[in-house]
Amino acid sequence: MKQRILFLVAMLMLVLAGCSSAGEESATTETTAEPVTITGTNGEVTLDAPAKKVVALEWTYAEDLLAVGVQPAGMADIEEYGNYVNIEPQLDDTVADVGGRQEPNLEAIAALEPDLIIGVSFRHDAMLADLEKIAPTVIFNPYPEDESIDLYQEMETTFKEIAKAVDKTAEADKVLADLESDYEEKAAEIEAANLKTKDVILTLAYTGPQAPEIRVFTPNSMASIILERIGLNNVHQPDQFEVFGSSTFNVEGLVKYEDANYLYTVPDEDNIYENQLKGNKVWENLAFVEEGRTYDLGPATWLYGGPLSAKTLMNQITEVMVNN
């Protein structure tokens, strides 16, 4: 009898030890997440663990999250984003709108209890202290004044930092690798199209205070580098470094580029080509107009953004250049 009691006691101790061990393993598993450090224009920001709930205050950074399979918890100016940014995947219904990009709603952000807030320097530097009271905040600058860094390089660097913040580095590497393959494929299509010239300028036009204004993208812009990756040649060489990646011209300023192909996007509600420039002798006598070498990318063309926008733009450019 005594031996039996001792046996039962021993078995009970083993069970208790097993439970204790399992509990320790569970606790260990729950705390294995390592701290992660990301770097923005406001320096290094360290999170105790990869972020699960992120608020993006700029469209590009929401796109970066979507590209690695993460829906932001909150985002600024969702309605306007849908009017401009044409990518897949889309935002789902769980994403909360936290106000405008310029002046986001701090109370709405705080209510989400985010692990990380991502802002952009030219909008959110002034409110950084307020944002940091809510959650760790990283700020990026898509328009560095360092001439050695083009805007495509900046896009890639920021994309990788955001992916690291949410523990999606491998996914980000795949997105960029797939994008490189897409460039090669589209470059082959452009090569096979037998264009009269591969020289181009890429423009965004709108009504200015006195006359139509035409934004011509510079070689350091993200959009121009996408052109180059698919085998086209941006002939616009600005007289000075343009930090925002574009120079502004009136129609007379286009004369020196009339031998190139003219790529453009213009909003339907402000179509200067159908309104102010219709019948304009300077415009209608440009070689690319006379020879039918103007290529409309459509009004829903976003010339900024992250890797998903880069893919969309590449596809739009190839479609109009090859099939028109």
Q: How far apart are CA 276 and CA 167, in angstroms?
A: 50
Instruction: Note the pLDDT of residue 18.
Output: 53
Residue 28: per-residue pLDDT: 42
Q: Do 159 and 86 reside in the same domain of the chain?
A: yes
Q: Are residues 184 and 300 in the same domain?
A: yes
Helices (H), 68-118: 78-84, 106-111
Asked if 148 and 184 sit in the same domain, the reply is no
**Same-domain check for residues 110 and 56:** yes
The pLDDT, as a whole number, for residue 12 is 47
Tell which residue, 118, 98, 101, 92, has the closest CA to residue 39: 118
Is 241 strand, coil or helix?
coil
* Per-residue pLDDT tens over the stretch 298-311: 888 899 999 999 99
Per-residue pLDDT of the chain (324 residues; tens, 9 = 90+): 444 444 444 454 544 455 544 444 444 444 467 899 999 999 999 999 999 999 999 999 999 999 999 999 999 999 889 888 888 889 999 999 999 999 999 999 999 999 999 999 999 999 999 999 999 999 999 999 888 889 999 999 999 999 999 999 999 999 999 999 999 999 999 999 989 999 999 999 998 888 889 999 999 999 999 999 999 999 999 999 999 999 999 999 999 999 999 999 998 888 999 988 998 999 999 999 999 999 999 888 899 999 999 999 999 999 999 987
**Owner of token pair 């204790």:** 20
Query: Is 159 among the domain residues?
Result: yes
Domain assignment present for residue 14? The answer is no
Q: Is residue 76 part of a domain?
A: yes
Domain count for the chain, please give it: 2
**Is residue 94 domain-resident?**
yes
CATH code: domain of residue 254: 3.40.50.1980
Whether 20 maps to a domain, the answer reads: no
For residue 90, what are its two tokens? 């889309």
My answer on whether 163 and 184 are in the same domain is: no
Order across the sheet with 74-75: list the strands: 96-97, 74-75, 54-56, 116-120, 137-140
Within this chain, do residues 203 and 123 fall inside the same structural domain, yes or no?
no
Classify residue 29: in a domain, yes or no: no
Rounded distance between C-alpha atoms, residue 78 and residue 238, angstroms = 34
In sequence order, the 6+-apart residues with CB closer than 8 A to the CB of 40 are 138, 139, 140, 161
Tell whether 117 and 190 lie within a shared domain.
Answer: no
Backbone φ and ψ for 85, nearest 5 degrees, come out as -90, 115
Cα radius of gyration rounded to whole Å, the chain: 26
Say how far apart CA 292 and CA 229 lie, in whole Å: 24
| Domain boundary residue, one of 171, 202, 222 | 171
Same domain, 49 and 114: yes
Instruction: Let me know whether 106 and 152 are in one domain.
Output: yes
CA nearest neighbour of 310 among 183, 121, 166, 193: 183
Quote the domain boundaries for residue 94.
Answer: 36-171
The per-residue pLDDT for 300 is 83
| The predicted structure's pLDDT at residue 324 | 73
Q: What angle do CA 38, 44, 45 make, to 5 degrees?
A: 65
Tens digit of each residue's pLDDT (9 = 90 or more) over 99-144: 999 999 999 999 999 999 999 999 999 999 999 999 999 999 999 9
Tell whether 204 and 147 lie within a shared domain: no
Last residue of a domain, which of 142, 171, 200?
171
Q: Which residues of 87-111 are buried (b: 16+ CB within 10 A; e: fewer)?
A: beeebeeebbbbbebeebeeeebbe
186 shares a domain with 163: no
Q: What is the pLDDT of residue 5?
A: 47
The strand pairing partners of 207, in sequence order, are: 212
Looking at the domain assignment, is residue 142 inside a domain?
A: yes
In a domain, 6, yes or no: no
For residues 122 and 245, membership in a common domain is answered with: no
Q: What is the pLDDT of residue 323?
A: 84
Where a domain ends, among 152, 171, 190? Answer: 171
* pLDDT at residue number 83: 84
